[in-house]
Amino acid sequence: MKGERWAWIGGGIVAGALAALVLQPLVPAPTEAQGPATLRQAAVRGAFSASEQSTIRIFEAAAPSVVQVVQVAQSLAGIEAVGSGSGFVWDSSGHIVTNAHVVGDANIVLVRLVSGETLRANVVGRAPNYDIAVIRLDGARTLPPPAAIGASTTLQVGQATFAIGNPFGLDHTLTTGVISALERRLPTSSGREIANVIQTDAAINPGNSGGPLLDSAGRVIGVNSAIFSPSGAYAGIGFAIPIDTVNRVATELIRSGRVPTPGIGIIAADESVSARLGLEGIIIYGVQPGSAAARSGLRGTDVRRGVLGDVITQVNGQPVRRLADFTNALETAGIGQTVALSVLRNNRPTELRVRVEDVGD
């Protein structure tokens, strides 16, 4: 910043020394010899390049499926918009996938289609643990086509990405980039983390949330959810929830309005406590009565007696260093399955088996 400032000041000094020159017209006034001004003809250009043609096709095919989602609040003054984001048509029944944080706590939102038509939509369900929500259009005369869905298991760092959304309310904006990294973790407002998140340098700004991240075949490979930016604006690092996760979560929301949450019924202590004590694992602060953890004999921390609870160090032989490692292991195992836990109890290793249950609300 200092170098730029001095370069600017230097330019000002030069401009002051040449003030007389600058104040003189750089182009002389037209004379009769020059003739009247005429419009210039546009130069003929050749065909679009192959990459341009591909990008144009991707946008033309995907854009009709992308919508603007507006969260509204009702008051005595009427309906007021309190936030907006993006979404895309999921199926022919009018379901729209977006972010849970775009919908917020609203029961009804407004959806603006590419045609300009604005419709009400009912919230089918939200999954804060995955920052995914499903809404359904109400009274659409003609439904936009569902977006084509890809897969996220075969993605490669370096492949092209295309984001379509409504940054700052500017509808149907296309930005391009590449997959910058894979297997990132994204914290959610619920305190859990989303695994296998896609990192991209395609420009993502406020209003892009909930919109699709596409591959070069025009398929949705992720849902744009967040950016890393100290300033709050685009800084080249955006994150998208992988489509395999979205597919599973959206299907559950449409089916039952909620997504089961795998767990065993424990309350974990803050990870900073483990770090201060030099322990690698998650400390059990509390065990919920009647839970799978209670039935298996897991022990929580006794604050009154100053006794540390069990420390979970492994799940099915895989190390657990953070709470996200633990929750991801339970999701991988699945509800109804039994997992093997390695725990430290009074600094002695202990093996336990616990059944994974649905601990969601």
pLDDT tens digit sequence for 174-222: 999 999 999 888 887 666 778 889 999 999 888 899 999 999 999 999 9
Structure confidence at residue 16 as a pLDDT band (50, 70, 90): very low
Rounded Cα distance, 29 and 360, in Å: 77
pLDDT of residue 361 exceeding 80:
no
CB 158 within 8 A of CB 177: no
The region of weakest confidence among 7-11, 72-76, 264-268, 279-283 is 7-11
pLDDT grade, residue 17 (50/70/90)?
A: very low
Q: Which position has the higher pLDDT, 29 or 125?
A: 125
Is 95 one of the annotated active-site residues of the chain? Answer: no
Q: Is the pLDDT of residue 111 over 80?
A: yes
Phi-psi bin for 108: left (phi > 0), alpha (psi -120 to 50), beta? beta
pLDDT at position 62 is: 95
Beta-bridge mates of residue 340: 353
Question: Does the pLDDT value for residue 300 go beyond 90?
Answer: yes
Q: Phi and psi at residue 343, in whole multiples of 5°? A: -130, 155
Q: How far is CA 323 from the centre of its chain?
A: 20
* Stretch 304-331: mean pLDDT: 89
Reported as a pLDDT band with limits 50, 70 and 90, residue 252 is very high
pLDDT at 7 over 70: no
Q: Is 101 a catalytic residue?
A: yes
Residue 9: its pLDDT value, please? Answer: 25
Give Cβ neighbours of residue 6 (< 8 Å, ≥ 6 apart): none
Confidence class for position 22, pLDDT limits 50, 70, 90? very low
For 100, other C-beta atoms within 10 Å of its C-beta total 26
SS3 325: helix
Per residue in 37-92, pLDDT (tens digit) is 889 888 988 899 999 999 999 999 999 999 999 988 776 667 777 788 999 999 99
pLDDT over 50 at 234, yes or no: yes
Identify whether the C-beta of residue 247 lies closer than 8 Å to the C-beta of residue 127. no
Pick 150 or 20 by higher pLDDT.
150
Domains of the chain with CATH codes = 61-138 (2.40.10.10), 160-256 (2.40.10.10), 262-358 (2.30.42.10)
Q: Is residue 126 predicted with pLDDT exceeding 50?
A: yes
Catalytic, out of 84, 180, 209, 342: 209
Tell me what the mean pLDDT of segment 102-121 comes to: 90
- Work out the percent of the chain whose per-residue pLDDT is above 90: 55
Give the residue among 297, 344, 296, 292 at the shortest CA–CA distance from 320.
344
Which helix (H) or strand (E) segment holds residue 351: the answer is: strand 348-355
Active-site entry in 84, 86, 131, 342: 131
Considering the entire predicted model, what is its pTM? 0.75
Residue among 101, 180, 325, 342 flagged as catalytic = 101
Catalytic residue check, 209 = yes
> pLDDT value at position 6?
20
